[in-house]
Chains A and B, each alone.
Chain A
Amino acid sequence: MAKLDHPEITPEMNATIDDIIARHINAPGAVIPVLRMCQDVVGYLPVELIDYISKGLNIPKSDVYGVTTFYSLFSLTPKGRHKIRVCLGTACYVKGIKEVMHRIGNQYKIDDGETTEDRRFSLEAVRCVGACGLAPVLVVNQDTYGDITPEKVIGVLENYE
């Protein structure tokens, strides 16, 4: 199969992607796991990659694209080095996460779903991370911060360069 032509996909990444596709070919329901694994490799899903997966799995491009845009896990645009996930579950909402979100947006000039120009942060509002006992909750990469307030949040984020 022709190699992937994309500035952000290295030959090593390409090899890993080929391996993922080879392991899932003909498996029923493989699209979602393959997209997830490929996104873990590249960081997001550029259109060229979606194209490549569709050819590799022999599934119409429209189907793969349809799945990609349906699930919130998948992103067609690059993400920041640090992913800020703000929990917008009910408990966090009642406890004032809206103000926290507002504060982050104001400080780094990003809205929900956006990435800062220097690709330092991407901001995402997520639905309930299931840590309601700590509400309001902020997750940066894999680190969970409970009881977050507009006053504390910038201090926390400044630790991520």
Chain B
Amino acid sequence: MNQVRLELMLCGGTGCRASGSDPFKDALAAEITRRGLDDEVRVIETGCNGFCAVGPVMLVLPEDVFYQKLRPEHVAELVEEHIIKGRVVEKLLHKDPVSKKRIPLMHDIPFFSNQMFWAMRNKGYIDPEKIDEYIARDGYFGAARALTEMTPEEIIEEVKISGLRGRGGAGFPAGVKWDFASRAKSDTKYALCNADEGDPGAFMDRSILEADPHAVLEGMIICARAIGASQGYIYCRTEYPLALERLDLAINQAREYGLLGKDILGSGFDFDLEIYQGAGAFVCGEETALMRSIEGKRGMPRPRPPFPAHKGLFNQPTVLNNVETLANIGQIILHGGEHYASVGTETSKGTKVFAISGDVNNIGLVEVPMGISLRKMIYEIGGGIPKKRKFKAVQLGGPSGGCVPEHLLDTTVDFEEIAKVGAIMGSGGVIVMDDQTCMVDMARFFMDFIQEESCGKCTPCREGTRRILQIIDRICEGKGVPEDIKILEELSSVIKSSSLCGLGQTAPNPVLSTLQYFRDEYDAHVYEKRCPAKRCAALLEFKVDTEKCTKCGLCYKACPVDAVTWKKKEVAVIDVEKCIQCLSCFSACKFDAID
């Protein structure tokens, strides 16, 4: 590979591609060729950089200059100014939402500077489609060490020392799980990777697979060696085409390099991998359901014990690890468990990747040391709430999680601390909600999700979640009665204690946490037939408040069915007959002038 003066690391993750990174890349490559710079500058398409909201993004190395929101029309100026003359293009730099200043270097941008990249250490720095680039950053060194210098017991001990806990949600210590499976006696064992990232609002696994697929393969090779498995599967959801493509490529490259297949690295150890594509069922993220699905059956969970470490896939001892867990393994073996355990809290070690989204300025993927506060994550890394609105709640842990209110924002990121406030760490979805969000409506959203995704095998989950949804629906439609809240609480506790799998056992969490912290909103819906956040259409009047209306006409422009009449300098009027209650006018109005 020739030395070049500059490397342009253009993000090619799902987010940036959707924002138009492909046309930009083509234009950039053409301009570089036209100016005769092919020997000096190289454009490299990387995996997800994490800062999806400002995509397409590009990092210039070795200078570390970060450009955002790139369009093909910026190419000429960028090449002329930065690449030829060495002057940074000010207007394409990131503008910090707090200080309002443009920041040239990536490591100075608060979104990045407060992070700690371990599981995502290669994101944006390598071409995920080239195994050599992964190896150049110490890739597969951990696997080499595990295979040639360590016994399976030593590998497991190292993972135990690291304190690494499963990143898929439950937080079970990875080393302990491996230990169980390694002790199970069988000629056939399986090492699996759970890439069926179903939690809405979580996309870290997709990102890791797109940006650094070899890190996951390396983790699986080490796991297989530790437990004595010869076959592995990566169960990846079908909604992630780019991740599937890159995984496939990575597996083929690893086979070519002798890192998968027979006699890996001359150690005498055999292990090979296959990708298994999911077919769209949330419950398949549950381990026993996932294994049934690989067996070609309906993905329904079964009672445990027996645990998969003893009887898993095809009734053989099996270990299933999440993508993020596996991405940490290579480095733990290479640098030692103690190094990993040096970061974090008493019971939660290392780092955790979170997907911050919703009503927050800096939407994207962040990796933070365990022990950081939610406040710091939302306000310093996330850049606070946009449009000068007020924070209302943050939803953690996906549909099984809970909503955390303002006064608990100093809670730290730690499996136990988060559980104490009624949420869960889960896979790491962090959804910020501003004061325009109705918490009853959010509870309905999650119940609708769970009810639809319930596999139907056990009665409490199948029937109970449906009953809860019916009650919340009724409340949102203004037909709630005072007893409803008590029934919700009772039903929730029954579903929690009697469901078969994790999906049902955690299903009532969104209802319980909103009832706990936002009881006043339920009361307003039930007793006053009023939705304080103005989201529940059945409780709205669709009437313009003449006092608050500034006569701007935004509602008139937003209405799809011409139900709003408005003339310049006049208050708008909504024709309730024509209105289809789509709420477009409510979102358009900046002055809360519609009731």
Bound pair: A and B?
Answer: yes
Instruction: Digitize A18-34: 1 where CB-to-B-CB distance is under 8 Å, 0 elsewhere.
Output: 00000000001111110
Known interface pairs A32-B279, A90-B429, A91-B200; A130-B240 also in contact (CB < 8 Å): yes
Is B53 a contact partner of A133 (Cβ separation < 8 A)? yes
Inter-chain contacts of A95 with B (CB < 8 A): 358-359
**Interface assignment of A58: CB less than 8 Å from any CB of chain B:** no
Is B298 a contact partner of A88 (Cβ separation < 8 A)? no
A32 and B237 CA atoms in complex are apart in Å by 13
Is A131 a contact partner of B18 (Cβ separation < 8 A)? yes
Known interface pairs A103-B582, A130-B239, A151-B558; A91-B294 also in contact (CB < 8 Å): no
A72 and B178 CA atoms in complex are apart in Å by 33
Is B445 a contact partner of A128 (Cβ separation < 8 A)? no
Inter-chain contacts of A131 with B (CB < 8 A): 14-15, 18, 52, 203
**Interface assignment of B246: CB less than 8 Å from any CB of chain A:** no
**Interface assignment of B139: CB less than 8 Å from any CB of chain A:** no
Is A103 a contact partner of B560 (Cβ separation < 8 A)? yes
**Interface assignment of B379: CB less than 8 Å from any CB of chain A:** no
Instruction: Digitize A105-147: 1 where CB-to-B-CB distance is under 8 Å, 0 elsewhere.
Output: 0100000000000000000001111111111010000101110
Residue of A66, A96, A128, A145 near B202 (CB, 8 A) is A128
Instruction: Digitize A67-78: 1 where CB-to-B-CB distance is under 8 Å, 0 elsewhere.
Output: 100111110000
Known interface pairs A70-B281, A128-B200; A134-B52 also in contact (CB < 8 Å): yes
Inter-chain contacts of A89 with B (CB < 8 A): 200-201
**Interface assignment of B314: CB less than 8 Å from any CB of chain A:** yes
Residue of A96, A144, A151 near B18 (CB, 8 A) is A144
Q: Give the number of chain A interface residues (Cβ < 8 Å).
A: 46
In residues 105-163 of chain B, which contact A (Cβ within 8 Å)?
none
Known interface pairs A33-B277, A70-B298, A132-B52; A96-B357 also in contact (CB < 8 Å): no
**Interface assignment of A79: CB less than 8 Å from any CB of chain B:** no
**Interface assignment of A13: CB less than 8 Å from any CB of chain B:** no
Known interface pairs A90-B431, A132-B357, A144-B14; A67-B296 also in contact (CB < 8 Å): yes
A103 and B413 CA atoms in complex are apart in Å by 39
A55 and B239 CA atoms in complex are apart in Å by 29
Instruction: Digitize B426-469: 1 where CB-to-A-CB distance is under 8 Å, 0 elsewhere.
Output: 00010101000100001001100100010100000000000000
Inter-chain contacts of B296 with A (CB < 8 A): 28-32, 67
Inter-chain contacts of B453 with A (CB < 8 A): 127
Residue of B201, B282, B297 near A132 (CB, 8 A) is B201
Inter-chain contacts of B30 with A (CB < 8 A): none
Listed residue (B18, B277, B280) with the most chain A CB atoms within 10 angstroms of its CB? B18
Nearest B residue to A59, CB-CB: B296
Is B198 a contact partner of A127 (Cβ separation < 8 A)? yes
A128 and B429 CA atoms in complex are apart in Å by 11
**Interface assignment of B479: CB less than 8 Å from any CB of chain A:** no
Inter-chain contacts of B239 with A (CB < 8 A): 126, 128-130
A63 and B296 CA atoms in complex are apart in Å by 9
Rounded to whole Å, the gap between the CB of A100 and the closest CB of chain B is 9
Rounded to whole Å, the gap between the CB of B79 and the closest CB of chain A is 27
Inter-chain contacts of B369 with A (CB < 8 A): none
Is B200 a contact partner of A150 (Cβ separation < 8 A)? no
Nearest A residue to B432, CB-CB: A94
Rounded to whole Å, the gap between the CB of B244 and the closest CB of chain A is 12
Is B299 a contact partner of A70 (Cβ separation < 8 A)? yes
Nearest B residue to A132, CB-CB: B357
Nearest B residue to A31, CB-CB: B296
Inter-chain contacts of A103 with B (CB < 8 A): 560, 582, 584
Is B201 a contact partner of A91 (Cβ separation < 8 A)? yes
Nearest B residue to A67, CB-CB: B298
Is A150 a contact partner of B560 (Cβ separation < 8 A)? yes
Inter-chain contacts of B583 with A (CB < 8 A): 98-99, 102
Known interface pairs A72-B279, A99-B583; A134-B201 also in contact (CB < 8 Å): no
A88 and B582 CA atoms in complex are apart in Å by 16
Instruction: Digitize B466-498: 1 where CB-to-A-CB distance is under 8 Å, 0 elsewhere.
Output: 000000000000000000000000000000000
Inter-chain contacts of A98 with B (CB < 8 A): 583
Nearest A residue to B446, CB-CB: A90
Inter-chain contacts of B203 with A (CB < 8 A): 128, 130-132
**Interface assignment of A44: CB less than 8 Å from any CB of chain B:** no
A91 and B357 CA atoms in complex are apart in Å by 6
Known interface pairs A132-B355, A151-B558; A67-B18 also in contact (CB < 8 Å): no
**Interface assignment of B580: CB less than 8 Å from any CB of chain A:** yes
Rounded to whole Å, the gap between the CB of A142 and the closest CB of chain B is 8
Known interface pairs A130-B203, A135-B363; A99-B445 also in contact (CB < 8 Å): no
In residues 164-206 of chain B, which contact A (Cβ within 8 Å)?
197-203, 206
Rounded to whole Å, the gap between the CB of B575 and the closest CB of chain A is 16
A135 and B359 CA atoms in complex are apart in Å by 10
Nearest B residue to A137, CB-CB: B18
Instruction: Digitize B514-536: 1 where CB-to-A-CB distance is under 8 Å, 0 elsewhere.
Output: 00000000000000000000000
Inter-chain contacts of B51 with A (CB < 8 A): 133
Nearest B residue to A74, CB-CB: B279
A92 and B561 CA atoms in complex are apart in Å by 24
Known interface pairs A94-B358, A144-B18; A127-B449 also in contact (CB < 8 Å): yes
Inter-chain contacts of A132 with B (CB < 8 A): 52, 201, 203, 355, 357-358, 363
Rounded to whole Å, the gap between the CB of B236 and the closest CB of chain A is 12
A133 and B294 CA atoms in complex are apart in Å by 31
Is B199 a contact partner of A32 (Cβ separation < 8 A)? no
Nearest B residue to A88, CB-CB: B200
Is B582 a contact partner of A106 (Cβ separation < 8 A)? yes
In residues 9-40 of chain B, which contact A (Cβ within 8 Å)?
14-15, 17-19
**Interface assignment of B406: CB less than 8 Å from any CB of chain A:** no
A74 and B298 CA atoms in complex are apart in Å by 13
Is A29 a contact partner of B294 (Cβ separation < 8 A)? yes
In residues 2-39 of chain A, which contact B (Cβ within 8 Å)?
28-33, 35-36
Inter-chain contacts of A130 with B (CB < 8 A): 14, 197, 202-203, 206, 239-240
A132 and B206 CA atoms in complex are apart in Å by 12
Inter-chain contacts of A102 with B (CB < 8 A): 580, 582-583
**Interface assignment of B63: CB less than 8 Å from any CB of chain A:** no
Inter-chain contacts of B298 with A (CB < 8 A): 66-67, 70
Which 4 residue pairs of A and B lie closest in terms of their CB atoms, listed nearest first?
Answer: A133-B52, A89-B200, A71-B279, A29-B296
- Report which A residues bind B (CB closer than 8 A): 28-33, 35-36, 63, 66-67, 70-74, 88-91, 93-96, 98-99, 102-103, 106, 126-135, 137, 142, 144-146, 150-151
What are 7 A-to-B residue pairs whose CB atoms are below 8 Å? Answer: A88-B449, A90-B358, A91-B200, A106-B560, A127-B453, A132-B355, A144-B14
> Knowing that A29-B276, A91-B358, A134-B55 are A-B contacts, what are 5 other residue pairs whose CB atoms are under 8 Å apart, sorted by A's residue number?
A70-B298, A94-B359, A132-B52, A134-B15, A146-B19
